[in-house]
Structure 1
Amino acid sequence: MTPDAVPLSGSRFQTEPARLYREMRRDHGPVAPVLLDGGIPAWLVLGYRELHQVTGDPVLYSRDSGLWNQWDNIPDDWPLLPMIGRDQPSVLYTVGERHHQRAGMIAKALEGVEPAVLRRHCERFADELIDAVCTAGTADLVGQYAMLLPVRVLARLYGFSDDESSGLVTALNDMIDGRERALDGQRHLGRSMAELVAQRGAAPADDVVSRMLADPNGFTEEEIIQDLMVMTAAGHQPTADWIGNSLRLMLTDDRFAASLFGGRHSVAEAMNEVLWEDTPTQNVAGRWAARDTQLGGRHVLAGDLVLLGLQAANADPQVRTDAAAFTGGNSAHFSFGHGEHRCPFPAQEIAEVIARTAIEVVLDRLPDIDLAVPADSLTRRPSPWLRGLTELPVRFTPTPALGGNRP
């Protein structure tokens, strides 16, 4: 690793990530040396073409974390362990035919979700959350809304009761932020999933977990527990940030003003622009080189960790010659990944329905909504991995609660 490696931490990932990625590309090219917590070296892929190369070659750039040449330097309490995958037999870290089987099992289980049922759950939970704030005239649309909605919907689809979903939000946020509470969050999530899998093993129902358990390929309960943890983490926090980032864009950009006053035509446009310009999943760990190779002019050694710089690749000037052409209806971004380990299409569709419904319910329910603070005072969570707001304070004319009586 080069002596000028960039620490993958610090306030600039909050305050000016786009500029930071441009500087890294200028100084290091499309593949930059970086340091993770504790000075652990890795490579961050910034180039669109290079990221396409890595994600499109699962043999050379493997998902098998056992290949990592740094395991001897990783302490047992390293906060990034939940994101790296040691001793995690989940779909993220299996390769070859077994990975295809597990990905197929997950996709089929999610495909069984009826679109009308999904929409109904989304609207009900969104209305309940808006009911809790609508009479006050002010709200934090991140803490009181976006951070609560996706996990409640996913928990119901999986088979949890509404009461059981409440403890999952904190656990997920702790795990994903990769800080001192990360391992506790991972353990809480694991216990919750194990209890649900045991319940559905004894009493199947019409839900995602029951369909996973019924898969004919014979997956163990531990494999299904691990996959549920991945599905929940990947489905909740990025979707919550997608909601928050899209609402921020619509509240701060004059192009979307019409949608805030009775229209919906720009919701999809705002959501897609966020995936290009302000994607919730900024960087992903990772891939491991199966042998010595060259990537973007760098000599990558066997066992090196390669991180996927999704947001940096989305903004790569080598392919983004016309910014306008890459927003609108263009979905060639990396926000859902690429290759055989990309987010399954049914999961993408569920996330989009949750996010779009969340935004539409806000527009329906909160008239004359506006930011309650200056736009430049909004802050982001301190994570190089996920980009989301710490809060989104808004004000509006108080309205009565629906109380479950949506027209």
Structure 2
Amino acid sequence: MTEQFPPPGCPAHAPSAHPSGAVRLYGEGLSGDPARLYRELRREHGPVAPVLLDGDIPAWFVLGYREVHQVTSNNELFQRDSRRWHAWESIPADWSLMPFVGYQPSVMFAEGAEHRRRSGAISDALLAIDQFELRQICERLADGLIDAFAGSGEADLMADYALRLPLLVVTELFGIDPTEVPQLVHDISESLDEGPGAIDAHQRVAARMARLVHARKERPAADVPSRLLAHHAKLAEEEVVIDLLVVMAAAQQPTANWIGNTLRLMLTDDRFAVSLSGGRRSVGQALNEVLWQDTPTQNYIGRWAARDTQLGGRRIRAGDLLVMGLAAANNDPQVSPDFTTAGTDSNQAHMSFSHGEHACPYPAPEIAEVIAQAAVEVLLDRLPDVVLAVPAADLVWHPSLWMRGLTALPVEFTPSYAPR
């Protein structure tokens, strides 16, 4: 039975009166140095800051590690169904952040037993992926991408490599026609932005996924969609479509940025350079450091308060929207590791995959790590003298407060050719 929420206009839907000094989390300049923004917000407002989203829509930005942990651990008090939001009357249908908050009957917005049914099916479908076979797929696809530019001696490792590999892997695991991959990359990337084309891009991806699931219902195969359709949770075809969209979006842009951010770190930080005195720090260490300091998913919308409560010294009203500051929590000085100090490289207590029941379902983070690690290792093995083609300071971050990734990663290397 669908839970009935109070109608707009009743006391439970009265929006909070935000304190003066709420910070706009949109506009020029906010994405260039997010760590500085988080420090300033923490210094001025503490672990929970009043903010304004696009169009001056009020929300709470949860910055503290302890507070993010508290919110993501308490599913009864801080819930995922966005229909609880008291601000819907103020939200235009074409709001740029609608892809993040517009309710859909997907695993992302499901709660309680329904969420466990949906996420359990996803976990089981992903658990059936053989990790050794996955690594072989990643290496083969990475080699194929590198073959295309290895002979030129130059490449943009974002456009030519990082942005393409995760979706190539996912399309193989999903049984998607490889000819659809270029447009899928474009549409998924656009759907995750807060630009005007986000909604249309999401609809195009959804249409492609619906065609795939319908085909697999008629002709099952050894792939993720077929396993979801056959799962004992008895997911409807529509449920499989929308949940596969969630899995695909989560696998594509965040993993691509994880690869790109790790390559940037290893190409710009002397700790990861090969020297005559010894080998560089490992790819695994670089991947982990990126999750702490330049995590691909910076901020996440969100949670909605089920009732009035207190959080980080703030009074939170029923129906308030909370934005999870995952990167800010990782950079909380009370918990953030000092990666210049020995022995901190193995600390994996970051919030980069969120936490609690609505975190990335197991084993999705492990699958993303296999893809990212294979991508970086294969590239460095194939192009051992790769260097940046521009000064590190000239690298440009994509203008998004929600995702952290480079617009381009131009490199140079000694040309080589794939063996015939």
**TM-score, structure 1 length as denominator?**
0.95
1:38 counterpart = 2:43: no
Distance in 2, Cα, partners of 1:260 & 1:11: 44
Residue 9 of structure 2 is matched in structure 1 by: none
**SS of residue matched to 2:415:** coil
Deviation of 1:38 after TM superposition, in Å, equals: 1.2
Deviation of 1:125 after TM superposition, in Å, equals: 1.3
CA contact (8 A) 2:255 2:372 kept: yes
**SS of residue matched to 2:233:** coil
Distance in 2, Cα, partners of 1:3 & 1:393: 43
Specify the code of the residue in structure 2 equivalent to 1:185. Answer: A
1:75 counterpart = 2:127: no
Which of 70, 74, 77 is residue 60 of structure 1 equivalent to? 77
Residue 129 of structure 1 is matched in structure 2 by: 145
CA contact (8 A) 1:261 1:368 kept: no
CA 1:79 to 1:43, structure 2 compared with 1: closer, same or farther past 3 Å? Answer: same
Distance in 2, Cα, partners of 1:274 & 1:213: 35
Residue 219 of structure 2 is matched in structure 1 by: 203
CA contact (8 A) 2:259 2:372 kept: yes
Which range moves more in the overlay, 360-369 or 9-18? 9-18
Deviation of 1:401 after TM superposition, in Å, equals: 2.2
Distance in 2, Cα, partners of 1:269 & 1:160: 33
Larger helix fraction of residues: 1
Distance in 2, Cα, partners of 1:329 & 1:85: 37
Q: RMSD of the TM alignment (CA)?
A: 1.8
Matches within 5 A, 1:20-35: 20-35=37-52
Residues 118-140 of structure 1: per-residue CA shift (max 9 Å, x gap): 11221121111111110110100
Matches within 5 A, 1:85-104: 85-86=102-103, 88-104=104-120
Distance in 2, Cα, partners of 1:223 & 1:23: 42
In structure 1, the gaps of 5 or more residues are none
Distance in 2, Cα, partners of 1:226 & 1:310: 24
Distance in 2, Cα, partners of 1:78 & 1:21: 25
**SS of residue matched to 1:13:** coil
1:218 counterpart = 2:234: yes
Deviation of 1:3 after TM superposition, in Å, equals: 2.7
CA contact (8 A) 1:61 1:288 kept: yes
**SS of residue matched to 1:41:** strand
- The share of aligned pairs that are identical, in percent, is 56
**SS of residue matched to 2:61:** strand
1:272 counterpart = 2:253: no
CA contact (8 A) 1:129 1:145 kept: yes
Distance in 2, Cα, partners of 1:367 & 1:241: 21
Which of 148, 152, 159 is residue 143 of structure 1 equivalent to? 159
Residue 301 of structure 1 is matched in structure 2 by: 317
Distance in 1, Cα, partners of 2:278 & 2:110: 47
Which of 119, 129, 134 is residue 113 of structure 1 equivalent to? 129
Distance in 2, Cα, partners of 1:394 & 1:237: 21
**TM-score, structure 2 length as denominator?**
0.93
Which range moves more in the overlay, 105-114 or 256-265? 256-265
Residues 362-385 of structure 1: per-residue CA shift (max 9 Å, x gap): 111113110000001101011010
Specify the code of the residue in structure 2 equivalent to 1:206. Answer: A
Q: How many residues align?
A: 402
Distance in 2, Cα, partners of 1:127 & 1:76: 44
Deviation of 1:326 after TM superposition, in Å, equals: 8.5
Distance in 2, Cα, partners of 1:202 & 1:94: 27
Residue 362 of structure 1 is matched in structure 2 by: 379
CA 1:63 to 1:35, structure 2 compared with 1: closer, same or farther past 3 Å? Answer: same
Deviation of 1:12 after TM superposition, in Å, equals: 3.5
CA contact (8 A) 1:320 1:326 kept: no
Moved segments of 4+, more than 2 Å: 10-14, 259-265, 318-327
Distance in 1, Cα, partners of 2:278 & 2:140: 21
Residue 152 of structure 1 is matched in structure 2 by: 168
Which of 243, 262, 272 is residue 246 of structure 1 equivalent to? 262
Distance in 2, Cα, partners of 1:35 & 1:28: 14
1:398 counterpart = 2:415: yes
CA 1:27 to 1:376, structure 2 compared with 1: closer, same or farther past 3 Å? Answer: same
Residues 173-207 of structure 1: per-residue CA shift (max 9 Å, x gap): 10111211101110011001100100000000000
In structure 2, the gaps of 5 or more residues are 1-17
CA 1:243 to 1:321, structure 2 compared with 1: closer, same or farther past 3 Å? Answer: closer
Which of 178, 181, 189 is residue 197 of structure 2 equivalent to? 181
Distance in 1, Cα, partners of 2:135 & 2:290: 22
Residue 332 of structure 1 is matched in structure 2 by: 349
Distance in 2, Cα, partners of 1:211 & 1:30: 42
Deviation of 1:53 after TM superposition, in Å, equals: 0.4
Deviation of 1:260 after TM superposition, in Å, equals: 12
Residue 30 of structure 2 is matched in structure 1 by: 13
CA 1:39 to 1:399, structure 2 compared with 1: closer, same or farther past 3 Å? Answer: same
Distance in 2, Cα, partners of 1:319 & 1:50: 12
